[in-house]
Amino acid sequence: MYIGDLHIHSRYSRATSRDCTPEYLDLWARKKGIDIVGTGDFTHPAWREELKEKLEPAEDGLYTLKDEYRIMDAGAPDNRKPRFVLTGEISSIYKKNEKVRRVHSLLLLPGLEEADRLARRLELIGNIHSDGRPILGLDCRDLLEIMLETVPEGVYVPAHIWTPHFSMFGAFSGFDTIEECFEDMTPYIHALETGLSSDPPMNWRISALDSYQLISNSDAHSPAKLGREANLFQIPLSYRGLAEAISTGNGLEGTIEFFPEEGKYHFDGHRKCSLCISPSEAAAYGNICPVCGKKLTIGVLHRVEQLADREEDFVLSGAKPFESLVPLPEVIGACTGKSAASKKVLEQYESMLVKLGSEFEILRNIPVEDIKKAAGAPVAEGIHRLREGKVERTPGFDGEYGTIKLLTPSEIDELEGQLSFFIEEGIQEKKKAVGNDTKSDKISASAREQESGSETDKEAKEKDIIGGNAEELHKNSLSPAQQEAVSARDRAVAVIAGPGAGKTRTLISRICSLLEDRKIRPSEITAVTFTNKAAEEMRSRLEKLPGGKRIGKELCIGTFHGICSKILGDRGEDFFVADEGLLEELAGKTIARFDLKLSVSRFLRELSLLKCGIQGLQSPITEEAAAYYQEMLEEEKAVDYDDLLLKTRKLFLDEDIMAQEKQFRYLLVDEFQDINPVQYDLLRVWNKNGQELFVIGDPDQSVYGFRGSDSQCFARLEKDYPMLRTIRLTDNYRSTPEIVACALDVISHNKGPERSMRASNPAGASVRVVEAPGEMGEAIFIAKEINRLIGGIDMLDVEENHGGEVKRVRSFSDIAVLYRTHRQAQLLEKCLRQEGIPYVVAGREDFLLDKNVRGTLYFFQYLLCPEDLVSRSFCRKLIWPAEETLAEEQLSMLAAKYGKKVRREKTEKLLEAWIKDRKLEESEAMSRLLNAAVLNPSMESFLETISFGSEGDVRRCGSRKFPADAVMLMTLHGAKGLEFPAVFLYGMRKGLMPLELGTAAGDMEEERRLFYVGMTRAAEELIITSSGEPSVFLGEIPEEHAVMEKAKKEKPVEEVVQLSLFDMEWT
């Protein structure tokens, strides 16, 4: 018979002992009497290297410690050689069925080679370097599939399945059935790990678990904790024998269990209020703490009863036997009235190992008389009672371990002849901790019902605000002002809609009204959006209408540039849109030719303003320089983004062409405050012969002045359309009153009429303004706060963050970090990667300027459009600049290879093959391009996004695999039009906010508007961070509307060898 403990951790996991090394794991396995021990943490590369160095192969798939590393100890017999098997735990945090899931999984593998292989696969998905138990934003179902594809012999076991915060059946983030979790992969689950807070009889109560093998392991974070729970095997000593026992039960002879009451989450309770109660008592209180009125932490027993379909005393026929034991130091402590960790108890423990044998032998087999001779009567009697099951138990709750009692003080006194006051005092303390019923009765049942009712009302209101399908959008839940905007039939309507005022709802509802109530043809309606993403969202909502597919095809929805490109293309115009790299190259040549004292970016910005007719005589670019640049652009048969608009405007000034255009009869424009003069002219010529013009926006969110936009555009519209009807939407349905108040405080410092914005949501958390000691400290603070917002990434975090209090838990995708410039993201990415937090970065980044990236994009553009010889030419120049003959040969060969695949295969797969063919695996820019590709399934849509996408449209993952649930990192400009439950404004310090680039002083108002935009992206939580001298805008937030904090320095964790960024001293 072999004893196996398969779920443990190395010193590379968070909050583990530095002694979690192969040497000490071997030593303690010998002391405990464990024959097979898991390595834990196979995903961590440094741990795998250490295992390769210190272990040697034994039987098939098993390893032993090399003799030179063995630690000699009198209490650990030399003749016992524990076997190691490759194991690891993976934490999956993801969103499924509209709920955040946090599930831990135990994986067993047949060897180090297989561990390397699977780790390489998982490395493409998330950071597996920073923690022995990595966090992946990966559905458990997909993790199981990946494991079986990569290592078919692997064994997958859902870990500690009842733990409230991190398990398959967990009360806070789990599922109700195995099938809900694993879907079609459910047949590949054969065993379940029951965890410390449950035992087999508790699991027998759920008939759906009857066919699964129940195993138990310690989940040890230090070698001394090995064997708290374990498995009994009668198998050939090999990985295959072990895997078969776990998967089929053949050779699994039973389990050694903790008393479930000793687990940290057995009963319900609230540690902060010292309240420990049974599930029935918790139910009587409506699962609300009767002391503080907050939600109770629901324990394992409560959760089992929720899912149980059998009575408490049910015994499953044919179930494996089990034994309930207590670690020997606890037995000694309980029988002598001393702490289990005291020096005297540990000395007696070591003495017993030397005299009697291993811990499991002492607890299970050594005759009581022999124990009495070696350890005294009290300990012998305690072990006798333990074997008989005569143990008094006080259940654990809300993260606090339960306790056991084997002897009373008088029995200890009688057996040993001395009185122990320690245990009596401990009992009295525990009685106090359990709480007192009189105090618990202070909250009445009616009060509890009222609280519960208000929660339901809030949820119903939120659902109402979010709204139903597109067919009902314009009929239901519109405010009077919104309804007025939807139904207005004036020639020109301007809606001034503040942040969170339901702008998108109003716009879509008006389109629905045009289509359904007024029977306007879809082909006569055009909606102009600011981003491609907004256009896609609008189209998808409208496609839910009856006949939605036809509507989606006929109705024109897109950005200015997208619509203009299609118009020119449909009319046979021969052009291609130059990429940023080409524009910068031509700008550089122009600057050199005319000796201009401008940077490339400044030249392009000023040229754009000149083309839009804004700068005029004040432009630092001469007419000759502008003409030279334009001549080079035309030689390349290219246009820039401004040319797209100018060419289309010129085309539409032809009255004959205009008369043929019907698609602009009903023209709707989103984000009107950010259009430039050329775009304004386009609207006028498009809708010159139209029926209605409808614009919606907010002057206080005009943030593209550097591109020629003007917050006074509404005033200009009123001048050009004297009959203009103006409607104001002033109710904010997005943010809490606290966020709205702070945002109004800031924007009121700009010129203009008095602002009015009313928050419709109930009060929430205070806005937090946090000062951190340095940029690194600020980035670490944000990563740590993200950890807090998602409820902690492991059980230690849960206990630290909640302190017995259950708070609102976010998913990663609920959170956004916004900043002023792209460069600020670099440090953030480093911190998030270090902690394994999945993220997506939005924005047009520098990697798009890389020659290999540009050449790649031109290559696939040419494949999609073989007549596009300009793209072919640029591809050849960028990738093979020297040898023209060789370039043609290579290009023709690769075109033949990829031409048939370009429309069939996913973008990611195409680029992976391309990178391999061109030996570009080491290129950081190509790696980033590949990470962006995973978000775009087709090459056509990917190139469209790169070419015409706005700042918020172009996105890349922080890793090679698309995370279903990820934190969003983006600039303040990119965040316009979006919203998130929780928002960080990062780097709000002098020099960055407002941005100091030597620009005109008048930009201060635009920078304030940008800050205002960032603040109002937050629905429920807004955290503003700074380091160094804070932004002047932070001083515009009155203290009564925000909480001012200083980020704390993190103390080094003494027990941890591999410290996380959070555990380092601030720098």
What pLDDT does 1001 receive? 45
Beta-carbon contacts of 434 under 8 Å, excluding residues fewer than 6 positions away, are: 274, 275, 276, 394
What pLDDT does 615 receive? 62
What pLDDT does 423 receive? 37
Residue 466 has pLDDT above 80, yes or no: no
Q: What percent of the chain has pLDDT over 90?
A: 50
pLDDT digits 0-9 by tens, 392-416: 989 999 888 888 888 888 888 787 6
pLDDT digits 0-9 by tens, 695-733: 999 999 988 877 777 768 898 999 999 999 999 999 999
pLDDT band at 793 (very low <50, low <70, confident <90, very high): low
Classify residue 332 by burial, with Cβ atoms within 10 Å: 0-12, 13-18, 19+: buried
CB atoms within 10 A of CB 393: 16
Please give the residue that has the higher pLDDT: either 1067 or 769: 769
Residue 656 has pLDDT above 70, yes or no: no
Please give the residue that has the higher pLDDT: either 548 or 213: 213
| The dihedral formed by the CA atoms of 240, 243, 245 and 248, expressed in degrees to the nearest 10 | -110
Query: What is the DSSP code string of 328-358?
Result: HHHHHHHHHTS-TTSHHHHHHHHHHHHHH--
Beta-carbon contacts of 655 under 8 Å, excluding residues fewer than 6 positions away, are: none
Average pLDDT over the chain, rounded to an integer? 85
Residue 12 has pLDDT above 80, yes or no: yes
Nearest to 101 by CA among 1, 182, 32: 182
Q: What is the mean pLDDT of residues 224-245?
A: 96
What pLDDT does 484 receive? 95
Residue 22 has pLDDT above 60, yes or no: yes
Backbone dihedral angles phi then psi of residue 97, each to the nearest 5 degrees: 55, 45
- Domains of the chain and any CATH numbers: 2-258 (3.20.20.140), 325-440 (no CATH), 471-576+641-729 (3.40.50.300), 580-635 (no CATH), 741-844+964-1063 (3.40.50.300), 846-950 (no CATH)
Q: What is the mean pLDDT of residues 893-912?
A: 88
Respond yes or no on whether the N-terminal peptide bond of residue 994 is cis (omega within 30° of 0): yes
Please give the residue that has the higher pLDDT: either 258 or 153: 153
Please give the residue that has the higher pLDDT: either 863 or 427: 863
pLDDT band at 998 (very low <50, low <70, confident <90, very high): low
pLDDT band at 1049 (very low <50, low <70, confident <90, very high): low
What pLDDT does 1066 receive? 30
Give the pair of three-digit tokens for residue 803: 């302190």
> Distances from the Cα of 6 to the Cαs of 132, 140, 626, 909, 1045, in angstroms?
15, 20, 71, 37, 44
Bridge partners of 306, per DSSP, are none
What pLDDT does 949 receive? 76
Residue 46 has pLDDT above 80, yes or no: yes
Q: What percent of the chain has pLDDT over 70?
A: 88
Q: Which helix (H) or strand (E) holds 634?
A: helix 623-635
Residue 434 has pLDDT above 60, yes or no: no
Polymer length of the chain: 1067
Residue 7 has pLDDT above 90, yes or no: yes
Bridge partners of 232, per DSSP, are 3, 254
Residue 108 has pLDDT above 80, yes or no: yes
pTM of the predicted model as reported, rounded to 2 decimal places: 0.71
Q: What is the mean pLDDT of residues 285-296?
A: 89
What pLDDT does 446 receive? 31
Q: What is the mean pLDDT of residues 579-585?
A: 86
Q: What is the mean pLDDT of residues 938-956?
A: 83
Residue 1062 has pLDDT above 50, yes or no: no
What pLDDT does 455 receive? 34
Least confident span in 37-51, 81-95, 890-904: 890-904
Residue 447 has pLDDT above 80, yes or no: no
Residue 796 has pLDDT above 60, yes or no: no
pLDDT band at 611 (very low <50, low <70, confident <90, very high): confident
Residue 189 has pLDDT above 80, yes or no: yes
Residue 976 has pLDDT above 50, yes or no: yes
Q: What is the mean pLDDT of residues 737-758?
A: 92
Helix ranges (H only) for 766-842 are 775-789, 795-802, 825-834
pLDDT digits 0-9 by tens, 127-142: 788 788 888 888 999 9
What pLDDT does 613 receive? 77
What pLDDT does 956 receive? 83
> Distances from the Cα of 824 to the Cαs of 821, 924, 970, in angstroms?
6, 18, 10
pLDDT band at 388 (very low <50, low <70, confident <90, very high): very high
d(CA 526, CA 512): 13
Give the pair of three-digit tokens for residue 1004: 């201060």
Bridge partners of 156, per DSSP, are 107
Half-sphere exposure of 491 (CA within 13 A, CB side): 12
pLDDT band at 171 (very low <50, low <70, confident <90, very high): confident
> Distances from the Cα of 697 to the Cαs of 135, 244, 497, 563, 849, in angstroms?
41, 65, 6, 20, 33
Of 48-62, 458-472, 712-726, 958-972, the range with the highest mean pLDDT is 48-62
Q: Which helix (H) or strand (E) holds 137?
A: none
Residue 465 has pLDDT above 70, yes or no: no
What pLDDT does 794 receive? 53
Please give the residue that has the higher pLDDT: either 151 or 409: 151
pLDDT digits 0-9 by tens, 1024-1033: 999 989 999 9
Least confident span in 573-587, 626-640, 693-707: 573-587
Beta strands in 303-451 (DSSP E): 322-324, 392-394, 403-405
